[in-house]
Chains A and B, each alone.
Chain A
Amino acid sequence: NAGVMQNPRHLVRRRGQEARLRCSPMKGHSHVYWYRQLPEEGLKFMVYLQKENIIDESGMPKERFSAEFPKEGPSILRIQQVVRGDSAAYFCASSPNAGYSHGYTFGSGTRLTVV
C-alpha cells in the first residue's frame, strides 16, 4: 500500500533549464494537489488536478509553470527556464475526494535547487 510517490527526491538544474517533477498518487486517489515550500515559509497551494483536468491553478505563477495529470501515468509539474527563485521543496498530495476530512496524504517532496 504505497503512499504518494514523488520523484526525483532531489533535482539540480542550471538557470534556464527545465525541471520536471513527478507525482504518483496513492492507490484509489484521483485528486492531486501541488504545494511549494520556499525556505523558512509554510507550504503554499499551487494547483489542484483531477484525471485529465486542471480544477484550480490559482496558485501557479502565470509563466513558466504548468501541471498535468494524464489519464495514465503520474502527475507532472513542469517548470521551464528555471530561475534561482524556483529553488524550493515541491510537495504533492492526494486524496480520494476534495476536502477529505482526514487531511491529504503528502509525498516526501522534490527538493529543487537551481544553480
Chain B
Amino acid sequence: DQQVKQNSPSLSVQEGRISILNCDYTNSMFDYFLWYKKYPAEGPTFLISISSIKDKNEDGRFTVFLNKSAKHLSLHIVPSQPGDSAVYFCAASARLSGGSNYKLTFGKGTLLTVNP
C-alpha cells in the first residue's frame, strides 16, 4: 500500500523551461511534506518542504505547491538547469497530527533530465 505516489518515473525538459514534478498521497495524517534530490551514488539531499497549513513555499528557483483537498503536491523548478538532472523524491510525515513526526514516507522518485 503506497501512501506516497510519484506516478511519473521520468521527466525530460529543455534547459530554461519549467519542470513540474508531481506527488500524490493517501494518508490524511500527513501534514508535512518534503522534496529531496538525489544524484547517483549519493544520498538524498533536502531541497524544500511545506507544512499543511500553507499551500505554497518558495525558495529561489524551487516552489512547492500543496493542494490538501486533492492530496496532491507539486515541485516547480524555474528555470530548469542541466545540473538539476537527478532523481527527485517526495516524502511525507505526520508531524503535528500525533503520528511519528520523525518517520518519512517516500515516493519511488522521478528521474528529471534537463537537456541543454
Q: Which residues does A use to contact B, with CB under 8 Å?
A: 4, 6, 31, 33, 35, 40-45, 48, 55-56, 59, 91, 93, 95, 98-99, 101-109
Are A103 and B49 in contact, CB atoms less than 8 angstroms apart? Answer: yes
| B41 contacts partner chain A, Cβ-Cβ < 8 Å | yes
> Which residue from chain B places its CB closest to the CB of A4 in the assembled complex?
B43
Residues 83-98 of chain B: 1 if any A CB is under 8 Å from the residue's CB, otherwise 0? 0000001010101000
Within 8 A of A (CB), among B20-46: 32, 34, 36, 41-46
Kindly provide the distance from the CB of A94 to the nearest chain B CB, expressed in whole angstroms.
11
Residues in A with CB closer than 8 Å to B47 are: 103
* Residue among A6, A55, A95, A109 facing the most chain B CB atoms (10 A cut-off): A109
Within 8 A of A (CB), among B66-116: 89, 91, 93, 95, 100-109
Q: Which 6 residue pairs are nearest across A and B when measured between Cβ atoms?
A: A103-B46, A106-B43, A99-B101, A42-B106, A98-B102, A43-B106
Residue contact B89 to A42, C-beta cutoff 8 Å: yes
Assess whether B49 is in contact with A48, with CB atoms less than 8 Å apart: no
Say how far B100's CB is from chain A's closest CB, in angstroms.
Answer: 6
- Give the distance in Å from the alpha carbon of A44 to the alpha carbon of B93 in the complex: 12
Complex alpha-carbon distance, A41 and B34, angstroms: 17
- How big is the B interface, by class? 20 to 34
The answer to whether A108 and B43 have CB atoms under 8 Å apart is: yes
Which one of A40, A48, A91 lies within 8 Å of B43 (CB-CB)? A91
Is the pair A91, B44 in contact by a Cβ cutoff of 8 Å? yes
Can you name 7 extra interface pairs (CB under 8 A) apart from A95-B102, A102-B46, A103-B49? A6-B43, A42-B4, A42-B107, A48-B102, A91-B44, A103-B34, A106-B36
A108 to B42, CA, bound (A): 4
A99 interface neighbour in B6, B36, B93, B108, Cβ under 8 Å: B93
- Please measure, in the bound complex, the distance between the C-alpha atom of A95 and the C-alpha atom of B103, giving whole angstroms: 12
Q: Do the beta carbons of B89 and A108 come within 8 Å of each other?
A: no
Instruction: State A103–B41 Cα separation when bound (angstroms).
Output: 20
Against A, the Cβ 8 Å flags (1 = close, 0 = not) of B1-23 are 00010100000000000000000
